[in-house]
Structure 1
Amino acid sequence: MPASAGAQATQSGPGDESRVRARSLGIALGTYPTGTLNAITDVPGVTVGHRTLISGDGTLVPGKGPVRTGVTVVIPRDDVWHKKVPAGSFVLNGTGEMTGLAWVEESGFLEYPIALTNTLNLPRVANGVMSWMIARYPGIGIQDDTLTPVIAECDDSRLNDIQGRHVSESDVIKALDGARGGPVAEGSVGAGTGMISYGFKGGIGTASRILPSSAGGYTVGVLVNTNSGRRDELLMGGVPVGKLYGGKGSEGPEGSIIIVIATDAPLDARQLKRLAKRAALGLARTGSTARHGSGDFVLAFSTGNVIPHYPKERTFPFTAFADTHLNPLFTATVEATQEAILNALTMATTVVGRDGHKAEAIHLNRVREILKNYGGKAKE
C-alpha cells in the first residue's frame, strides 16, 4: 500500500484550490518570528518521517480496507540512545494513549524516536520502533537496557479500516529511515491521513518560533496530529470561523490531539513539563475545550543538553536554565502550537474513506471571505 496509490479521487482541495499554510491567509498568529521552515525541524538535529497508506474504496471490509492511515515519526537527534534528551510530558485529557510516558516521567529523558499512528496500530508501530532500535543497538535486552518506546495514537476509524492495523513494522522502519530535516509534509499525510479536526479534514501540522537574541535566540518547534474539536468551536486568529463557515461538518469520534514540542533551549525535565502545559493554551486558541472523549497528550524535549548513556563518572556537564527567563519560551510554545494546528487544517486535502465517509478539507476561499467580512485580517 504505497503512499497515495490505489485510491480514486480521494484527496483534493475543495474546487481543486491550492492548499496554503495558515499565515498565508492573513491570520494573526502571535508576535515572535517563525524559523526558516516554520517547522519543528527548525530545531537543529530534529528530523521527521512519514509513511502514508491509502488503498481501496467503498464498503468497509474489516481487516482488509479501505485503508486511510499511516505513521509519522520524530527523531530528536542522531544517536539519541547514547545522547538522550531531557523530556517532560503533560496529559490534558487522558482518553487515549501515549506509551512510554511512565519512564519519561521517572527518568526525565527521552532515548528513542517518537511515533504517531492510529489507535489499534499502536502495538505494531511499537514493534517497528523496537526493531529499528535493535538493528542499530544490538545490545538492547542483552548487554544493554530494554526499551519502552513512545507511541501516541489517535482514532481514524471514521475513514480507515482501523481493525486491519495496516501499518506494519516495515512501514515504521521506512518512516524512520526516511526521516529528514527540512520542510515537513503537512495535512493528510502519515499519521494524519485519516484524521478529522473541527469537522474538517485534519492531520499533521507544524510551526516554529525564534526568540530574539535578547531572550537567548532559542528555537521552539511544534508538530501536531490533530483529530479533535467540533466545527462550531473553531477559531482562527480569534475569529469564530467555524460558526461563520456553517454546515454540519464531518462526524466521528470525539477524537484526540498529539502535540510534540522541541526546543534547543537547555531546559530540564521539570521545565519541559511546564512548557508542555502551555501547549494547552495554544490548543485553546483554536477553540478546543478538551472534550471528555478526547485524548490530548503533549511531549516536550530539549536538544540543549545531552544526558549520557550510563556515564562512567558520577557527574556530567548540564547547563541549567533560570526559571525566571522561561516566559518567552512559554509564549513561543503557545504561538507555535496554535499555528501548527491551523496549518494542519489549511494544508489538509479532502479524503474519502471507508463506506464513502468524506472528510472535507476546509475551503480556503471561504476562510478568506470570512476573515475579510469579519473586519480584515484576523486579530488575536
Structure 2
Amino acid sequence: MGKRARGHGLICGLLPPGPLNAITDVPGVAVGHRTLREAGVLTGFTAVLPHEGDIFREKLRAGVAVINGFGKSAGLMQLAELGQIETPLLLGNTFSVATGIEALVGRALAANADIGRETGTVNSLVLECNDGFLSDIRARRLTVADAEAALDAAKGGPVEEGAVGAGAGMSAFGFKGGIGSASRLIELDGRSFALGVLVQANFGNAGDLVLPDGRRPMPPAPDMVQPPERGSIIIVLATDLPLESRQLTRIARRCGAGLARLGAFWGNGSGDIALAFSTANPITHHERADIVPLSVLNESRIDLPFRAAAEATQEAVLNAMLAAPETTGRDGNRRASLADHL
C-alpha cells in the first residue's frame, strides 16, 4: 500500500487507529474497486458492502449530513427520512449515478423476489464526484458490468487506496486525489468499538491544504488565478457502535471538522456529503413485533465518536492523496503526487 500518512510522520488527532487503520476495521464491512484506465479515461466504481448478508433483509441504521449540497447522489432523501440503508453503497463519477442505480436495483431484485410485488421497492445509494479534469466524463464509459465488478471485488482486509476505483480521476488541493481510508478505536463500558471512514477525495483549492504538522504544501506550477472551489468529497463512515439514526447524523456532521482541519471551506460548487451507518441493531425487513428493543450510546458519551469521525476523516484524505501517483489524464491535464512533494 506504500507510505500512508503515518509513514510520513503525519498523525491526525489523539485516538488510536484500528489494526488496519481502515473502514474494514469494522467487522463485516468490505470494499471493492473497478478501475478504468484508457486513453483520456481515468474513472471507476468503488463499492462499500456494510455487512455480509442481504442488506435489503437486514437493513442498517444510518444518517447523512449534507455539508454542501452541490451534488447528484441518489437515495439520500429516503435515507434522511427513514434513517436506514438497504443496499450496498456505490461511489462513481457524476454521470455514472444512473448506471450505479441500475446495478444495485438489479442485484436487489435478483436476491428478493418480493420487491415490487409483496413488498415495496428498493432505495439504491449511489454517490458521486466529478472526475472531468483528468477523465473524459462525457464519454460515459462506466457500465452496469463495471458496477457489478466493484461489488463482486468487495472484501475485508486492507483497503486499496489512491487512484483506484472511483478515485481514479480525482483531485484534491491541486494534487492527485482518490480513495482513502482510516479508523479509530473507542473504549466504552470495557469494550472496544471501531469507527472507520472511507473517502472519495476530490476537493480543495491548491495552496489551502494544511498538514497536521502545520506545513502548507503547494503543488508545482499552480494557476496564477485560483479557480472557484468546485470539487467534492464523499465520506462513508461505518461503526459497530450501537447508535440510532439521529446520533449517526450528528456524527456524520463532524466529518466536516476533519475537512476543516485540512484547510477546506466547502466552496459554492463543492459537493460535500457524509453518510454514516452502524452495523449494530440491524432492522429486519419483515419485523413482526410492534415494539422492538434498541441499545444505543449514552448521549453524554458521544464526544468520543465525534472526535473519531473528525480524526479519521482528516487521515483518510491524506491517505488518499499520499497513495495517488502523479497522473496525466485527459488533454494532458496533470496532477502531481503529494507523496512526491513531501
* TM-score interval (norm. to shorter): over 0.9
Q: Distance in 1 between matches of 2:154 and 2:197?
A: 16
| Partner of residue 322 from structure 1, selected from 298, 302, 310 | 298
Specify the alignment match of 1:138 in structure 2. Answer: 113
Instruction: For residues 14-46 of structure 1, give each alpha carbon's deviation from its aligned partner in whole angstroms, at most 9, with x where no partner exists.
Output: xxxx94101110112111111111000000111
Specify the alignment match of 2:43 in structure 1. Answer: 69
Distance 1:215 1:352, change over 3 A: farther
Kept after mapping to 1: 8 A contact 2:105/2:122? yes
User: What is the identity, as a one-letter code, of the residue corresponding to 1:30?
Assistant: G
Specify the alignment match of 2:278 in structure 1. Answer: 302
Kept after mapping to 2: 8 A contact 1:306/1:318? no
| Partner of residue 28 from structure 2, selected from 45, 62, 66 | 45
Q: Distance in 2 between matches of 1:319 and 1:95?
A: 35
Distance 1:257 1:215, change over 3 A: farther
| Partner of residue 307 from structure 2, selected from 320, 325, 331 | 331
Distance 1:125 1:51, change over 3 A: same
Distance 1:299 1:324, change over 3 A: same
Q: Distance in 1 between matches of 2:96 and 2:254?
A: 29
Kept after mapping to 2: 8 A contact 1:155/1:253? no
Q: Which structure 1 segments of 5+ residues have no match?
A: 1-17, 57-65, 368-380
Distance 1:218 1:301, change over 3 A: same
User: What is the identity, as a one-letter code, of the residue corresponding to 1:287?
Assistant: G
> Are 2:254 and 1:271 aligned?
no
| Partner of residue 257 from structure 2, selected from 276, 281, 291 | 281
Alignment of 1:94-105 (within 5 A): 94-105=69-80
* TM-score, scaled relative to structure 1: 0.86
Specify the alignment match of 2:269 in structure 1. Answer: 293
2:312 aligned counterpart, secondary structure: helix
User: What is the identity, as a one-letter code, of the residue corresponding to 2:7?
Assistant: S
Return the offset for 1:356: 1.3
Kept after mapping to 2: 8 A contact 1:69/1:160? yes
Q: Distance in 1 between matches of 2:262 and 2:133?
A: 22
User: What is the identity, as a one-letter code, of the residue corresponding to 2:43?
Assistant: T
User: What is the identity, as a one-letter code, of the residue corresponding to 1:276?
Assistant: A
Kept after mapping to 2: 8 A contact 1:261/1:298? yes
Q: Distance in 2 between matches of 1:309 and 1:344?
A: 36
* Number of equivalent positions: 339
* TM-score, scaled relative to structure 2: 0.95
2:180 aligned counterpart, secondary structure: strand
Q: Distance in 2 between matches of 1:215 and 1:238?
A: 33
| Partner of residue 178 from structure 1, selected from 136, 153, 159 | 153
Specify the alignment match of 1:4 in structure 2. Answer: none
Return the offset for 1:320: 2.3
> Are 2:3 and 1:23 aligned?
no
Specify the alignment match of 2:140 in structure 1. Answer: 165
| Partner of residue 147 from structure 1, selected from 122, 125, 134 | 122
The worse-fitting range, judged by mean Cα deviation, of 190-199 and 252-261 is: 252-261
Task: Please tell me whether Structure 1 or Structure 2 has the larger radius of gyration of its CA atoms.
Answer: 1
Distance 1:44 1:332, change over 3 A: same
User: What is the identity, as a one-letter code, of the residue corresponding to 1:349?
Assistant: P
Kept after mapping to 2: 8 A contact 1:238/1:285? no
Return the offset for 1:209: 0.4
| Partner of residue 180 from structure 2, selected from 184, 199, 205 | 205
Task: Supply the RMSD in Å over aligned alpha carbons.
Answer: 1.8
Return the offset for 1:310: 2.3
Hey, which bits of structure 1, 4+ residues long, moved more than 2 A?
212-216, 240-243, 249-253
Instruction: For residues 96-122 of structure 1, give each alpha carbon's deviation from its aligned partner in whole angstroms, at most 9, with x where no partner exists.
Output: 122111111111111111111000111
User: What is the identity, as a one-letter code, of the residue corresponding to 1:181?
Assistant: G
The worse-fitting range, judged by mean Cα deviation, of 333-342 and 128-137 is: 128-137
1:52 aligned counterpart, secondary structure: strand
User: What is the identity, as a one-letter code, of the residue corresponding to 2:55?
Assistant: V
Share of identical aligned residues, percent?
42
